[in-house]
Amino acid sequence: MKVLHVLYSKIYTGAEKVAAQIIKAFEGRVDMAYCSLECEEVWEILDGMGIRHYGVEELTPATLSRVIREYRPDVIHAHDMRTSFVAALCCGISDGCGMGDNTRALLITRALSEISRLAECMGGRKETLAGLAGMGDLIVTCTSMHSRNHRAGILIGQGKSAQEAMDEVGAVVEGYYAAQSAWELAQRKNVDMPITEAAYAVLYESRDPREALNSLMLRDRTSEAEDAAWAR
């Protein structure tokens, strides 16, 4: 059996480490390979571990098809982009700005809506996000102090820069990188993701966090059920 692990990232943490560990654990028993966005730093790590890898400039059906034709896997294990980490950063920023529980609840609810829109655009099912893989993951990563993305967001809301916040957390804050990837994907697919756009503006365009949150709060109202994962 041949298994291809596909990751939408340019970093080596979390899911990336797990994928590499799985490949090494099954070495000699199952033929596995690693595919992600091009990144020399990640390739050096994988080369050192003796792991076969494929790089693409962007992860699209066309580029993935090229890898599939070359490697010819029996199984494709797709590791998600974790847009929930972006929501966790935003909830942390809200908490750091002293916005309160109601604002956090609003952000979580609307984040699920925009993540569902992106998933559906990419061929996924909204219903999947109503379970543990969607709502369950979103709630814990947006509220727990064990979530490094939430903790980093709190620090940004308190006035620290994104880099200062990540340095203080002392671990990779995946939401920082996921915000750029999700924003770029939403732009290409023309998917409305206002929370992701606000996160991108704060993290990469130095927008004031409180101003970004206020702009989200002042958006025109939309149907709460229209984009809900369970609204079928």
Q: What is the 3-state secondary structure (H, E, C) of 51-90?
A: CCEEEECCCCHHHHHHHHHHHCCCEEEEECCCCHHHHHHH
- Between CA 225 and CA 84 the distance in angstroms is 20
pLDDT confidence of residue 230: 46
- Verify that 70 and 96 share a domain, yes or no: no
- Verify that 108 and 16 share a domain, yes or no: no
- Verify that 24 and 91 share a domain, yes or no: no
- Between CA 51 and CA 223 the distance in angstroms is 47
- Verify that 114 and 162 share a domain, yes or no: yes
Residue ending a domain, choose from 79, 100, 135? 79
- Verify that 101 and 192 share a domain, yes or no: yes
Predicted model pTM: 0.72
pLDDT confidence of residue 232: 46
Domain count, the chain: 2
- Verify that 116 and 192 share a domain, yes or no: yes
- Between CA 79 and CA 77 the distance in angstroms is 6
Consecutive sets of 10 residues in the chain, 232 residues long: mean pLDDT of each?
87 83 94 91 93 87 90 89 88 96 94 91 83 85 92 97 93 85 90 96 96 90 58 48
Largest Cα separation within the chain, whole Å, is: 57
Considering the domain boundaries, does residue 227 fall inside one?
no
- Verify that 156 and 117 share a domain, yes or no: yes
**Amino acid at position 99, single letter:** M
Residue-range definition of the domain harbouring residue 18:
2-79
Considering the domain boundaries, does residue 60 fall inside one?
yes
- Verify that 138 and 26 share a domain, yes or no: no
In whole angstroms, how far apart are CA 65 and each of 9, 45, 52, 74? 18, 25, 17, 13
- Verify that 22 and 40 share a domain, yes or no: yes
Candidates 159, 123, 135; CA nearest to 84 is: 135
- Between CA 105 and CA 185 the distance in angstroms is 25
- The token duo for 158 is 């308190």
- Verify that 125 and 184 share a domain, yes or no: yes
The single residue listed with the structure tokens 């070495």 is 27
Q: What is the CATH number of the domain that holds 51?
A: 3.40.50
* Alpha helical stretches, state H, the chain: 15-25, 40-49, 61-71, 84-96, 101-121, 137-143, 148-157, 162-169, 174-189, 194-204, 209-217
pLDDT confidence of residue 114: 93
